[in-house]
Amino acid sequence: MDPSSQVKKILIVEDDDSHAELIRRGFCENSELYQLTVATSLQEALASVQSQNFDIVLTDYLLPDGSGVDLVQKSARITPVVIMTSHGNEQLAVDAMKAGALDYVVKMPEVFGAMPRIVERALREWELMLEHKQAEEALLLQTRRLEHEVAERQLAQEALQAQALLLQNEIAERRQAQETLRLSEEKFSKAFDNAPMIMTITTRESGTFLDVNNRFLEVSGWDRSEVIGKSTTEVGWISSADRALLFESLNRDGHISGMALNLHPRGGRTIKAELYIETITVDGRERLLGIAIDVTERHKLEEQLRHSQKLEAVGLLAGGVAHDFNNILTVIGGYCEMLKLDLAPDTPLREKLMQISAAAERASNLTRSLLAFSRKGEVKAAPADLNLLVRGVERFLQRIIGEDITLSTSVPERSIWAVVDSGQIDQVLMNLAANARDAMPKGGRLFVELQHQEIDAAFVHAHGFGTPGEYALLTVSDTGEGMDEETRNRIFDPFFTTKVAGKGTGLGLAIVYGIVIQHKGFVNVYSEPGVGTTFRIYLPLVQPEKDCRSEAVAVEPCVRGSETILVAEDDPHVLDLVTSVLGQYGYSIIHAANGAEAVEKFRENDRIKLVLMDIIMPVMNGKEAADQIRRLRPEARILFTSGYTAEIIMSRCDLEEGAELIMKPVKPALLLKKVREMLDLTAQESSRGGGT
Ligand code: ADP
Ligand code: MG
């Protein structure tokens, strides 16, 4: 609505009635447009302004109770005020304007008539001023708002920048962490996959396989798909009892370090393992990292070491016993030989004597086996045709096993040769046959088979024993009661026997073992309770040589003599034997019990033509005694005797090259022959010496 069309409310402040009348008249032309109110004092005017709304106030400068300026000061901000002054007081009007009056008019007759115009103009101006002020305020407001906004934006931007910086740092850090993580993950997964140990990741609660490494697959024989998602007990890798044990340890210690445990791969095998378990976090969940080291091989080696140490100890003992026993056998065998020479060829006593002699020979073989077992004795190894050996021993074996057991032997068409001590291999077969007999009290069958067998790396790998090469394989199997694993593991132990006291010595197989090892071979046993037992003996092969079968020297009739011989020997039994052999054949004997005595006796008797000198003797040994005798008489004939081999004697006692040596047990025929030879040589030399 047009504001000018409204009725304007005007307050006129004028104490002069005539002036007020003049002003009123000034509005009378359009009186319907103006509503006039007159106040005659400042107080009245202020009260009116406060109680009513006026569009405009026209006030005289001079009021009875104050100045129009007071009114201006108190109301000019709400209502436009126009000051009226008398002519000549314009300066006052200007002051009023400074205080806030909108306009001023000088009271003159023509001004009263122009009052409506003046009011309209003032109102327009007021309007403009208001608009201007509003606009200004709005602008100010907006400016403030904008300023505020800018400040806020700035703050926000700063914050954003700070955040960006933080983010950048974080990103860099994360990248670093990610890189580190990736590296460590890569390292772990490489180590996991290719570790030489068995590695698994399982859940803690049920032991379910989450991941397994290549070594696990290799050892266990399972496919990855066969185990992932299944528990360790479900697939049979760990027994339930062991799993319970593991759990207990884990709960107590938080980890497992080197627990000895059996693992069970596919196919019913058992692996001895050392187990380590740690808890790790995978994707925020606790898992078990298991590491197992296969120690089966190590166990086997330890077992072997223990076994060989035991054998070593018993070997020492057996060696000692066998040595003394050998001396006794020398005496028995020696007297048998002497009797053979004495007896008439056709006497029935001869057969009995042969039996004693054969028994002594076998006993001597047994001592050699014992020495072989103790690794002290000398193996009289020579290339031998094993076909002949097996055929030769067949008769003995049949006698050992008796009639209730059937013996079958088989040898290949082509002969198999090996470097063996035949007596010892006989012994092996006899010991095995004796055991087979004991395992078949109600009869059964015994097979002895000789074959050619090549052992390659694959064989060694599959069986866990042996060295690649060509072998003669001797198989001895029976249909007896067999043995369980516990027995089988101990049979080669010396003195291990399952037989009643008096029946078994527990030495049979220990001797077999010793002999086979000494021949650089190996022995293997296969046995099931109630089924039977098979022993396999592998002996290294040699190519056959011509004429390598040494035949016994044909016994020539022994030549008698009459010379005097000094016998230096500390063993009284051997001394007796030698003395009676030589005495019987006409020789005169002088005894000496040790080296010193021998030198003494030699000095006293210049009839002595030959000295039979044992090398190992108390007080003074044979070698020293011989040296002293040579000093007395350089041409003295000395024949050494010893139980050791020629090599040992040469290296230990440095006998001169060409020294005459005869081995114990002394064979009488050989002794007589050697003695005669040496004496004859002396006679020839002295007769030649006499001739010149
Ligand atoms: P011994 O025969 O004196 O007991 P061995 O060393 O010869 O001692 O044998 C040791 C043990 O090995 C025997 O007591 C027996 O338990 C077992 N054994 C050896 N050979 C056989 C076999 N052929 N069958 C069954 N058990 C055997
Ligand atoms: Mg036995």
- Measured in Å, residue 474 CA sits from the centre of ligand 1 at 18
From 373, 435, 523, mutation site for ligand 1 pocket: most ligand atoms within 8 A of C-beta: 435
Q: Is the CB of 499 under 6 A from ligand 1?
A: yes
Pairwise pLDDT comparison (115 vs 573), residue with the higher score: 115
Ligand nearest to the backbone CA of 489: 1
Peptide bond into 572 cis (omega under 30): no
Residue nearest (by alpha carbon) to ligand 1 atom 18: 435
Residue 690: which pLDDT band, with cuts at 50, 70 and 90? very low
Distance CA 472, CA 544 (A): 13
- Separation CA 182–CA 174 (nearest Å): 12
CATH of 379-550, one of 3.40.50.1950, 3.40.50.10860, 3.30.565.10, 3.40.50.720: 3.30.565.10
- Strands across the sheet containing 103-106: 34-39, 8-13, 56-60, 81-85, 103-106
Contacts of 186 (CB under 8 A, 6+ apart): none
Distance, CA of 537 to CA of 543 (rounded, Å):
19
Does the pLDDT of residue 246 top 70, yes or no? yes
Q: Where are the domains of the chain?
A: 7-113, 142-298, 379-550, 557-691
| Ligand minimally distant from the alpha carbon of residue 495 | 1
pLDDT at 651: 54
Res. 236 pLDDT band, cuts 50 70 90: very high
- The more confidently predicted of residues 462 and 239 is 239
Q: How many residues are given for the chain?
A: 692
| Average model confidence (pLDDT) across the chain | 84
Distance 519 CA to ligand 2 centre (A): 20
Ligand lying nearest the CA atom of residue 505? 1
The one-letter code for the residue type at 398 is Q
Residue 545 pLDDT level (bands cut at 50, 70, 90): very low
Average pLDDT over residues 67-84: 86
Judge if the beta carbon of residue 509 lies within 6 A of ligand 1.
yes
Q: What share of the chain is helix, strand, coil (3-state, %, to 5)?
A: 50, 20, 25
Q: What percent of the chain has pLDDT over 90?
A: 35
Mean pLDDT within 100-111: 85
Is residue 383 lining ligand 1, measured as CB closer than 6 Å?
no
Over residues 526-553, mean pLDDT: 70
Token look-up 């007759």 returns: 109
**Model pLDDT, residue 328:** 83
Residue nearest to atom 19 of ligand 1 (CA): 435
pLDDT recorded at residue 312: 66
Give the gyration radius of the chain's Cα atoms: 67
Per-residue confidence (pLDDT) for residue 330, from 0 to 100: 80
Dist. CA 318–CA 298, nearest whole Å: 30
Return the CATH fold of 7-113.
Rossmann fold (3.40.50)
Show the tokens assigned to 27: 């509005």
**642 within ligand 1 shell (Cβ under 6 A):** no
Which of the two residues, 541 and 646, has the higher pLDDT score? 541
For the cut 90, the answer to whether the pLDDT of residue 565 exceeds it is: yes
CB of 483 within 6 A of ligand 1: the answer is yes
Q: How many beta carbons lie within 10 A of that of residue 91, not counting itself?
A: 9
Give dist(CA 76, CA 675) in Å, integer. Answer: 171
Contacts of residue 395, defined as CB under 8 A and 6 or more positions apart, other chains included, come to none
CA of 497 to the centre of ligand 1 (A): 6
Q: How many CA atoms lie within 13 A of 527 on its CB side?
A: 27
Domain over 142-298 is classified CATH 3.30.450.20: yes
Residue 1 is predicted with a pLDDT of 43
pLDDT tens sequence across 338-358: 888 888 878 888 888 888 888
- Give yes or no on whether 7-113 and 557-691 have one common fold: yes
Q: Indicate the Cα dihedral angle 33, 35, 38, 44, nearest 10°.
A: -140
What is the rounded distance in angstroms from the CA atom of residue 138 to the CA atom of residue 103? Answer: 25
The pLDDT tens digits of the residues spanning 595-621 come to 999 999 999 998 999 999 988 787 888
List Cβ neighbours of 98 (8 Å cut-off, separation of 6 or more). none
Q: Is 367 in the pocket of ligand 1 (CB under 6 A)?
A: no
Taking 90 as the threshold, does the pLDDT of residue 73 lie above it? no
Residues with CB under 5 A from ligand 2 (ion): 435, 508
Closest residue by CA, ligand 1 atom 23: 436
Q: How many CA atoms lie within 13 A of 313 on its CB side?
A: 8
Amino acid of residue 65? D
In this structure, which topology does domain 557-691 adopt according to CATH?
Answer: Rossmann fold (3.40.50)
**HEC per residue, 89-149:** CHHHHHHHHHHCCCEEEECCHHHHHCHHHHHHHHHHHHHHHHHHHHHHHHHHHHHHHHHHH
pLDDT (average), residues 566-592: 87
pLDDT classification of 335: cutoffs 50, 70, 90 = confident
Quick check: 456 and 464 in contact, CB under 8 A? no
505 Cβ below 6 A of ligand 1: yes
